[in-house]
Amino acid sequence: MALVLVVDDDLSFRFFLKALFETDGHEAVAARNGAEGLETARKRRPDLVVLDVMMPGGGGLPMYRAMQADPALRSVPVIMLSGVGGATFAHGLSMCQAADGDGNTEVNEPFAYVEKPPRPERLLELAHRALNGTGNGSARMAGQPERAEQDGTGSPPDGISRKTGQATASPRAATHDAKENERMPYKILVVDDDPYIVKYMVDILSDNGYATCSASDGSEALEVLQRERPDLVTLDLEMPNEWGPRFYRKMTKEDAFRDTPVIVISGLSGIHLAIRNAVASLKKPFDPNRLLEIIRDTLEKRGELAAEAPVTHQ
């Protein structure tokens, strides 16, 4: 298992990349900018760095230049990941080398350069090559670092997988903090057969103060439902073994779960018709900010209703 450092200012992309590498069997840590990334690299000594180029508070090129000047980090392979074009990146890299002035630090090319949005399979392929020491992933300084070719098939959704699409926004922290209310955090059941999506959503929800549990299809979700008693369910529709609508019908037949709110998240068309009593239906790729807003509003309303319910005395 390798340690992968992900440096990106976009929260959605950080979650996506962490989920991608952790699902692939590696440990992943994240940083929000170049300054934070350099500090983390010096403390943790990663085996691979995936580094965005343009970030506030310290960009990727200054961090890469500092890594090249540090004997302990100089040999760590770096995959540059950015929305800027390859020619712009190559020019910036050459400027980094020229800025060194006295030439004491030679700035070598990174292992590879990948334009956003990356294809998950291609990114993992490059990561495997970098970690295994096979190939060099990049071209001569006179040319351009390797670009992961884009064929328009499968940009990661909200930063996750080809099922859903490209990341569109950075989730804001939910204003609701269960701990501040001195109660156990709300628990959310995530039901989806795509492990990247599950990991991504669990990370986002955990980061916003929610407890989570997950299932990969409707049959497993029923078992988790009984065991975990979640306050809300996010539900994919198209899954193997037992798909979403059938799970929902079984769930609502049980008195204990009939009123549990469900948010449908699916790539299928007409999803708003699939489960008419869902509190919301989001089509993949979904906006994570919107998902957090719906969850917060739904749980706050449930809390208000519970508080207003009359107390029955025996």
pLDDT digits (tens, 9 = 90+) for 173-187: 443 443 344 457 899
What are the tens digits of pLDDT across the range 99-133? 555 455 677 888 998 888 788 889 999 999 999 98
What are the tens digits of pLDDT across the range 26-69? 999 999 899 999 999 999 999 999 999 888 877 888 899 899 99
Tokens linked to 115 = 């334009």
**pLDDT > 90: what percent of the chain?**
39
Please report the domains of the chain, with CATH numbers, ordered by start residue.
Answer: 3-155 (3.40.50.2300), 178-308 (3.40.50.2300)
CB 55 within 8 A of CB 10: no
What is the pLDDT, as a whole number, of residue 60?
87
Spatial separation of the C-alpha atoms in residues 50 and 40, rounded to whole Å: 13
Spatial separation of the C-alpha atoms in residues 90 and 95, rounded to whole Å: 9
> For residue 228, is pLDDT > 60?
yes
What is the pLDDT, as a whole number, of residue 309?
54
What is the pLDDT, as a whole number, of residue 225?
95
> For residue 91, is pLDDT > 90?
no
